[in-house]
């Protein structure tokens, strides 16, 4: 919502473009079957289209709206998402515009009780978190979509019906240019929390709703405070409710505040009440200068998801599949990981490089990630919005003790999540190999990054197929290792081999210098250690010394081969 | 759980009674919750803490 007298898109800082509907070939009788139809051109749908385009796969992308999201909504982009944006060739404007951060503070009755420091290992290329309004996220992704010949973007095009067939999906689309039928081999439903695709297929989200409601309000102010997450428990500016403050680009600040028990939603979202509450919160943090109200909305925490993120040839990605509480900033970030996960798998299947069995791994992996978020989010949501007297009393006791004691302070940790580890996925067939290592990233986890002497980063050299990291410790691959790399190249023609700490490159393998062994340390590697990365840079397996049979098997399983 | 000598336990009992009065009826629940968290942390044993919670919950009229 926006202040009285302003239109829905009348923003203080963002100029909304208006996209027209186009006359599409289907309106003139074309019946081509498209490889992929993506419903919903939000951040998740556009990212999915760009992941497919990276592999040369065409997609039709439809959206019923004629422009970007009406408000800033999802504003936190986590480090793994920056890597996804990098791989789809869209990260540059994000780095330029977004505000990176790595720390936060929690206060109780005005006194700081917790200092959040998110892990930031020295070899990482990106900060743990970046703040950017969703309109910019969509604009930057759309710039990349518009520059791609492989993406057929259709605005003002609404899904009117969907039918699943054995060999494809047939949908009806309504647009101002006319209504038409469109056929696709696969559909990605990125149509948001109220997903029409989900309703049309008769599927329902299941899970829990939480009591606490938050108003999220954006204001413009000239406030001199670093980009950090600030959480205020029991602040005098919003008695009985928690407050969160985040900085965004263009001098825009997000003020989230919890409504008091019994407070009516209808009253809470009235402009005069928003202004009064925000004013009191600003006075509380010592801001006395003028400010302008930009946009606001209301939110309540839910943990809801589909039982299966796949329905025949339809895959649900982002909010259409799962709704998570905002406190862990996993809504957007998990959605982007969904888009990448289904994107590489679908692309390899459509190219005939992987068996379509590979698509079966999408739902277990990404639903597993959702359930993991739920487990953490339930904890942070109970702390942010205590549901009963017992939770309220326990929180008040813990927070008040935090003023003088260290031990309860960790309870105020917002639990900003790390990316999910696919340890139990069938694409991670040898997790027991972790026992050989004294440290380093576990099987199924996202690969850490490392800086190379020339200023570039290890993951810059990963490919869009499997990536092999062979640690050479100053030497060269021996005959067995060289034969393994050659065979991996035959199993996966996209595979890339990186020789870490090798003297010079080999045929088909790039040497990555590691004189101070810093990369080897990050991976707890010794000469002969082997890591196999999936196209999404999760670790498919790791071996202290090469076991060619297991390594090749792990690679073929990641390409959809049978029995793990 | 190790038991306290009776004299010490009696002192603990009296200290608690006086502290509840000091907290006052408005704050007694908060005080007791804080006390439980402090004792739980000092105890350093989540099983013993759970058992203590169970013992205190049983037979509440």
Q: Across the interface, do A398 and B37 touch by the CB < 8 Å criterion? A: yes
Which of A93-107, A111-125, A140-154, B41-55 is least confident? A111-125
B interface test, pick of A388, A390, A401 with most B CB neighbours within 10 Å? A401
Average pLDDT over residues A96-104: 96
Q: Are residues A337 and A484 in the same domain?
A: no
3 state SS of A396 = helix
The nearest CA of chain B is from the CA of A111 a distance in Å of 18
pLDDT of residue A226: 92
Indicate if the pLDDT at residue A501 is higher than 90.
yes
Indicate if the pLDDT at residue A355 is higher than 60.
yes
Residues B61, A409: Cα–Cα separation, whole Å = 34
Residue A441 counted as domain residue: yes
Q: Which chain B residue has its CA at the smallest distance from A405's CA?
A: B38
Between A382 and A293, name the one with better pLDDT: A293
Average pLDDT over residues A150-171: 97
Name, of A90-94, B40-44, B56-60, the range with top average pLDDT.
Answer: A90-94
Which of A34-48, A89-103, A277-291, A315-329 is least confident? A315-329
Average pLDDT over residues A541-552: 96
Residues of A in contact with B33 (CB under 8 A): 393-394, 396-397
What is the count of structural domains for chain A? Answer: 2
Residue A104 counted as domain residue: no
Whole-structure pTM value: 0.93
Residues, chain A: 564
Residue A122 counted as domain residue: no
Residue B11 counted as domain residue: no
Residue A416 binned pLDDT confidence (cut-offs 50, 70, 90): low
Residue B18 counted as domain residue: no
Residue A178 counted as domain residue: yes
Range of the domain at B52: 25-61
Q: Which H or E run contains A237?
A: none
- CATH number for position A438: 3.40.30.10
Residues of A in contact with B41 (CB under 8 A): 407-408
Contact A486, A456 (CB under 8 A): no
Residue A102 counted as domain residue: no
Residue A417 binned pLDDT confidence (cut-offs 50, 70, 90): low
From residue A473, give the alpha-carbon distance in Å to each of A449, A481, A524. 18, 14, 12
Mean of the per-residue pLDDT values for chain B? 92
Sheet strands side by side (includes A229-233): A111-117, A103-108, A229-233, A243-248, A252-258, A206-221, A291-305, A322-323
Average pLDDT over residues A193-220: 91
Indicate if the pLDDT at residue A225 is higher than 60.
yes
Q: Are residues A454 and A362 in the same domain?
A: no
Q: Which chain B residue has its CA at the smallest distance from A391's CA?
A: B33
Instruction: List residues in chain B touching A: CB distance below 8 A.
Output: 29-30, 33-34, 36-38, 41
pLDDT of residue A543: 98
pLDDT of residue A239: 84
Q: Are residues A367 and A443 in the same domain?
A: no
Residue B34 counted as domain residue: yes
Segment A446-478, tens digit of pLDDT: 999 999 989 999 999 999 999 999 999 888 999
Q: Which chain A residue has its CA at the smallest distance from B44's CA?
A: A407
Domain boundary among A352, A373, A394: A373
Contact A201, A314 (CB under 8 A): yes
3 state SS of A440 = coil
Give one DSSP letter per residue of A174-216, joined into a string: EETTEEEEEEEEEEEE---TT-HHHHHTT---EEEEEEEEEEE
Residues A530, A363: Cα–Cα separation, whole Å = 28
Q: Are residues A83 and A149 in the same domain?
A: yes
Residues A548, A510: Cα–Cα separation, whole Å = 20
Average pLDDT over residues A385-393: 87
Average pLDDT over residues A159-164: 96
Q: How large a percentage of chain A has pLDDT more than 90?
A: 80
Distant-in-sequence, close-in-space partners of A559: CB < 8 Å, separation ≥ 6? A348, A353, A354, A355, A358, A491, A492
Indicate if the pLDDT at residue A536 is higher than 80.
yes
Indicate if the pLDDT at residue A158 is higher than 90.
yes
Residue B3 counted as domain residue: no
Q: Across the interface, do B33 and A397 touch by the CB < 8 Å criterion? A: yes
Mean of the per-residue pLDDT values for chain A? 93
Q: How large a percentage of chain B has pLDDT more than 70?
A: 97
Average pLDDT over residues A391-417: 86
pLDDT of residue A314: 98
CB pairs under 8 A between A and B: 22
Segment A10-64, tens digit of pLDDT: 999 999 999 999 999 999 999 999 999 999 999 999 999 999 999 999 999 999 9
Range of the domain at A145: 25-97+132-205+303-373
Segment A252-293, tens digit of pLDDT: 999 999 888 788 889 999 999 999 999 999 999 999 999 999
Residue A528 counted as domain residue: yes
Residue from A264, A210, A260 nearest A237 by CA:
A260
pLDDT of residue A140: 98
Q: Are residues A53 and A190 in the same domain?
A: yes
Indicate if the pLDDT at residue B61 is higher than 80.
no
Residue A407 counted as domain residue: no
Residues of B in contact with A394 (CB under 8 A): 33, 37
């Amino acid at each position: 919502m926006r202040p009285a007298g302003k239109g829905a898109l009348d923003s203080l800082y963002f100029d909304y473009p208006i996209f027209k509907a186009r006359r599409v070939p289907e309106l003139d009788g074309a019946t081509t079957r498209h490889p992929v139809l993506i419903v919903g051109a939000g951040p998740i749908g556009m990212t999915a289209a760009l992941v497919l385009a990276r592999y040369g796969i065409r997609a039709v992308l439809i959206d019923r709206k004629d422009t970007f999201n009406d408000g800033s909504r999802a504003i936190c982009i986590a480090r793994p998402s920056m890597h996804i944006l990098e791989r789809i060739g869209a990260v540059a404007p994000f780095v330029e515009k977004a505000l990176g951060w790595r720390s936060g503070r929690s206060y109780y009755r005005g006194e700081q009780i917790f200092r959040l420091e998110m892990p930031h290992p020295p070899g990482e290329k990106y900060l743990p978190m970046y703040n950017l309004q969703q309109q910019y996220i969509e604009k930057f992704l759309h710039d990349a979509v518009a520059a791609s010949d492989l993406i057929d973007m259709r605005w003002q095009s609404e899904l009117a019906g969907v039918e699943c067939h054995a060999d494809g999906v047939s949908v009806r689309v309504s647009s101002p240019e006319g209504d038409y039928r469109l056929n696709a081999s696969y559909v990605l439903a990125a149509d948001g929390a109220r997903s029409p695709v989900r309703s049309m297929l008769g599927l329902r989200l299941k899970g829990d709703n939480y009591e606490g409601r938050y108003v999220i309000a954006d204001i413009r102010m000239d406030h001199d405070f670093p980009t950090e997450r600030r959480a205020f428990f029991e602040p005098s500016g919003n008695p009985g409710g928690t407050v969160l403050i985040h900085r965004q680009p263009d001098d825009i600040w997000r003020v989230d505040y919890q409504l008091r028990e019994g407070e009516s939603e209808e009253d809470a979202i009235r402009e005069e009440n928003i202004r009064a509450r925000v004013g009191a919160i600003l006075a509380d943090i010592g801001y006395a200068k003028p400010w302008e109200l930009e946009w606001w909305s209301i939110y309540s925490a839910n943990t809801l998801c589909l039982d299966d993120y796949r329905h025949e040839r339809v895959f649900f990605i982002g909010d259409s599949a799962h709704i998570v509480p905002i406190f862990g900033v996993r809504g957007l970030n998990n959605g982007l990981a969904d888009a990448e996960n289904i994107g590489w798998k679908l692309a390899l299947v459509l190219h005939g490089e992987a068996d379509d069995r590979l698509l079966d791994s999408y739902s277990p992996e990404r639903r597993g990630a959702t359930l993991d978020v739920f487990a953490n989010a339930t904890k942070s949501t109970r702390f942010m919005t205590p549901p009963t007297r017992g939770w309220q009393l326990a929180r008040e006791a813990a927070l008040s003790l935090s003023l003088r004691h260290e031990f309860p302070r960790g309870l105020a940790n917002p639990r900003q999540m790390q990316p999910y580890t696919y340890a139990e996925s069938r694409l991670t067939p040898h997790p027991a190999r972790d026992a050989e290592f004294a440290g380093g990233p576990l099987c199924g986890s996202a690969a850490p990054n490392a800086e190379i002497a020339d200023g570039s980063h290890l993951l810059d050299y990963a490919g869009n197929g499997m990536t092999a990291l062979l640690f050479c410790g100053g030497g060269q691959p021996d005959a067995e290792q060289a034969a393994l790399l050659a065979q991996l190249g035959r199993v996966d023609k996209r595979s890339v081999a990186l020789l870490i700490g090798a003297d010079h490159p080999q045929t088909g393998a790039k040497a990555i210098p590691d004189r101070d062994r810093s990369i080897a340390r990050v991976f707890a590697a010794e000469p002969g250690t082997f890591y196999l990365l999936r196209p999404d840079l999760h670790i498919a397996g790791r071996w202290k010394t090469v076991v060619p049979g297991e390594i090749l098997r792990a690679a073929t399983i990641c390409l959809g081969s049978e029995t793990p | 759980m190790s038991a306290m000598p009776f004299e010490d336990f009696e002192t603990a009992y009296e200290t608690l009674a006086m502290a509840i009065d000091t907290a006052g009826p408005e704050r007694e629940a908060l005080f007791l919750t804080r006390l439980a968290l402090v004792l739980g942390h000092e105890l350093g044993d989540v099983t013993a803490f759970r058992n203590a919670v169970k013992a205190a919950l049983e037979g509440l009229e």
